[in-house]
Amino acid sequence: MIYPIKNIREDFPILKQKVNNYPLIYLDSAASAQRPKYVFEREIQYASEQHSAVHRGIHTLSKNATKYMEDIRSKIAYFLNAKSETEIIFVKGATEGINLVAYSWGENYINTGDNIITVLIDGAQAIVHHDVDVQKINCDFYVFSGHKLYGPPGIGVLYGKKEILDSMPPWEGGGGVTFNSVPWKFEAGSPNISGIIGLGAAIDYINQIGKAHIHIHENQIINYALLKLKSIPKIKIYGSEPFSGLISFNLENHHAYDIGLILNEYGIAIRTGHHCAMPIMKFFKIDNI
C-alpha cells in the first residue's frame, strides 16, 4: 500500500509553520533533513524512560540500553546488506568516519608510490535516494550521516570490511578500547546513544514508507521541477538526466545567493553556494550554484 504524501507531510511538524507569511517549503534536505515526529518521539521516550550507560553496567536499564544500541547496529547492517553487524561502527557523522579511516588506515597503509585500490564511499547523500548494498558494490568503506536520513545530528555510521577493520588500530583512546575487538575498539568513550536510537527510528520510518514508494514520488517531483525550470529563460541546469533527488541550477546574470534570498521571501528554503564541493566546482569553473 502506498503511504499517502499528505500523511507524510503531517509527520513533519516543522512544515506546519509559515516563513514570511508563506507556508514553509523545505528544499534543503541535502544539507540536513527534517525529522519526522516518529523519530524525535522515540528519542524523547528513550531520554525520559530508558536512558543509561551502555556496555558498562549489569543493572536492567544498562542492559536494556545496550540491547537497543546493538539491535540498531544489526538493523543498519541489514539496511546496508553488510555481512555482519561487527562491520558497523557508530561515529559522529560522515566527516568523522572519513577521518577515522584516513588516520587509522591511511597513515598505516598508504605509502608514496602505492597503487591504492581501497575504496571509501561518502554515501551521505546517496543513501537517502538509493538502495545501498555494500556487498554488491564491493566497497571497502561506506560512510553516512544520520541527519541526512531524517535522523538526529551528531550520529553517523562507518561500514568497513571486517578484515580491513581488524587490521586497523584504534584512533582514539578510551576505557577498554586498546584490547577490544571491532567494532567497539573504534567507539571510545560514551556513545551518543540517544542519537543511535533516533537513527534506528529513522530507518524504521523509511522502511515503513518503503524506498520503492519514495523513489516513485521523488521521480515524479523531479520531472515536474525540471519541466518548470526549463520553461524559465536563461536557466542553466548542471548535470545530466536522470537526476537523483536534486537539481543544480543557476539563473544567468544573477548570483545564486540573491536567488536564495528572494526564494526565502516566499518561504522556500534552498541551498546556495559551493555545497562543500569546491574542487569539482573549481574544475567546472563555477563560482556558486
Q: Is residue 289 part of a domain?
A: no
**The pLDDT of residue 68:** 97
CA distance 150 to 28: 12
Whether residues 63 and 204 fall in one domain: yes
Confidence class of residue 1 from pLDDT cuts 50, 70 and 90? very low
CB atoms near residue 260 (< 10 Å): 17
Whether residues 197 and 220 fall in one domain: no
Mean pLDDT of the chain: 93
Inter-residue contact 247 to 222 (CB < 8 Å): yes
Q: Where are the alpha helices (DSSP H) in 30-106?
A: 37-45, 60-80, 94-101
Confidence class of residue 3 from pLDDT cuts 50, 70 and 90? low
**The pLDDT of residue 277:** 84
> pLDDT tens, 201-231?
999 999 999 988 898 889 999 999 999 999 9
- List the catalytic residue out of 61, 119, 276, 280: 276
CATH code of residue 62: 3.40.640.10
Whether residues 182 and 74 fall in one domain: yes
Degrees to nearest 5, angle at CA 178 with 175 and 180: 85
Whether residues 172 and 227 fall in one domain: no
User: How would you classify the pairing of strands 141-145 and 120-122?
Assistant: parallel
CA distance 154 to 91: 8
Domain count, the chain: 2
Whether residues 123 and 254 fall in one domain: no
Full domain range(s) for residue 127: 38-209
CA distance 234 to 146: 37
**The pLDDT of residue 117:** 82
3-state percent breakdown (helix, strand, coil) of the chain, nearest 5:
45, 10, 40
Whether residues 43 and 21 fall in one domain: no
Global pTM reads 0.92
Q: Is residue 51 part of a domain?
A: yes
CATH code of residue 219: 3.90.1150.10
pLDDT at 92 over 80: yes
Among 209, 227, 248, the domain-final residue is 209
**The pLDDT of residue 112:** 80
Amino acid at 126: A
Mean pLDDT of 265-272: 97
Confidence class of residue 178 from pLDDT cuts 50, 70 and 90? low
Mean pLDDT of 114-124: 89
Whether residues 95 and 214 fall in one domain: no
Active site residue 276: yes
Q: Is residue 266 part of a domain?
A: yes
Q: In terms of C-beta distances under 8 Å and separation of at least 24 residues, what long-range contacts does 136-144 make, across chains too? A: 136/81, 140/164, 141/97, 141/101, 142/80, 143/91, 143/94, 143/97, 143/98, 143/101, 144/94
Candidates 83, 125, 65; CA nearest to 246 is: 125
